[in-house]
Amino acid sequence: MTETPPTASLTAVSTEVPTAADRQVTVTPTDPWPSAYRGSRYSIIASQSHGTALRWSHRGEIQALRSVPDGLHELLREVGKPDGYGSVRLTASGEVLTKVPAGSYDQVGAAEVNSGYIPVYLGQIGGTFDFSDFSNDPELLTTQSAIRVWTGLPFHHGEAWSVCSDGVLRWRWQDYQFDSAFDHDELVAKYTQFRPEGGRLYINEHGHIWGNLNRRTVPAEMDAAVMEAYQNWRETAGPAAQRLVTRRLQHTESEDAPDGLLPVYLGHLSQFDQGVAPKPIVSDQRYFVAAARDADQ
């Protein structure tokens, strides 16, 4: 998959991060990140063919490259990322995060931990951040009840949230789980129309929401809509979109889902709950210690 022109840039803006039910803090670029480390995963690499590039990849089997957003490589180097290379995360609000070795980071004294790999906030992505052969920023659905097949990146893409039986969105990592600071009743209602038992959904850096459906267990009243979305994808998707969805189906095949899990686009944050993005409140400080052991390379 080919590289796109440099139409995106890193914007030096602060962001608000909830740290308790009634408290939030303002975080500015290069500050330590005081919340869950999450979001779409990309890496800044040195490529023989493309020079310094931004890469998405999955298990070394498939990758996509594009130009690095202006200012990102330089700031990664400035905050202590070795030579400015390595992984970054993009949250559902477009915040850019990375992890920096504690010994290389000059604000380690302000972080939740002082050893391992420190999560750092870099700013937000501005401009057009997308790929040329496929899009992670599709046109919005025309109605809140509509769906279509998700044809963007199908792995390591978007914040992963669990839709739980009590109607709450929870962010999970290893043995830790944290509720969103906000209510998301409309989004949960849309998801449970298709998966009443709950499950996982993903929200990417553009605010688009997608999840996986087992076509064999979709409620009968939603079966026609799912089949229509599947047929539309088969008939209209370009080669890259065909490959990405097919790869997702293949990797999610199981005894319960012999056809794989179909990635389905559920809508945009702006179409649910006044556009509020879920944000976890870290209620167990041991999470920061555990997370600092993970370099996220």
pLDDT digits (tens, 9 = 90+) for 255-273: 999 999 999 999 999 999 9
Residue 4 has a pLDDT of 45
Q: Judging by DSSP bridges, how do beta strands 262-268 and 148-149 pair with one another?
A: antiparallel
- Supply φ then ψ for residue 237, to 5 degrees: -70, 145
β-pair partners for 268: 208
Burial class (CB in 10 A: 0-12, 13-18, 19+), 70: middle
Look up residue 246 and give its two tokens: 């097919």
Residue 27 has a pLDDT of 98
pLDDT digits (tens, 9 = 90+) for 41-100: 999 999 888 899 999 999 887 899 999 999 999 999 999 999 999 999 999 999 999 999
Residue 60 has a pLDDT of 80
Tell me which H or E stretch contains 43. strand 40-47
Residue 2 has a pLDDT of 47
Which whole number is the average pLDDT over 123-151? 95
Q: 122, 39 in Cβ contact below 8 A?
A: no
Question: How far is it, in rounded angstroms, from Cα 65 to Cα 71?
Answer: 17
Which whole number is the average pLDDT over 184-205? 97
Enumerate the H helices of 171-285 as residue ranges: 185-194, 220-236, 239-251
In the chain, what's the furthest Cα-to-Cα distance? 57
Domain boundaries, the chain: 8-131+285-291, 148-275
pLDDT digits (tens, 9 = 90+) for 226-246: 999 999 999 999 999 999 999
The C-alpha angle 96, 297, 92, rounded to 5 degrees, equals 30
Q: How far apart are the first and last CA of the chain?
A: 22
Contacts of 48 (CB under 8 A, 6+ apart): none
Instruction: Kindly state the percentage of the chain with pLDDT values over 90.
Output: 93
Q: What average pLDDT is seen over the chain?
A: 95
Q: How far is CA 24 from CA 19, 182, 282, 285, 292, in A?
A: 5, 12, 12, 16, 22
Residue 24 has a pLDDT of 95
Residue 290 has a pLDDT of 98
Which whole number is the average pLDDT over 134-155? 95
Question: How far is it, in rounded angstroms, from Cα 84 to Cα 77?
Answer: 4
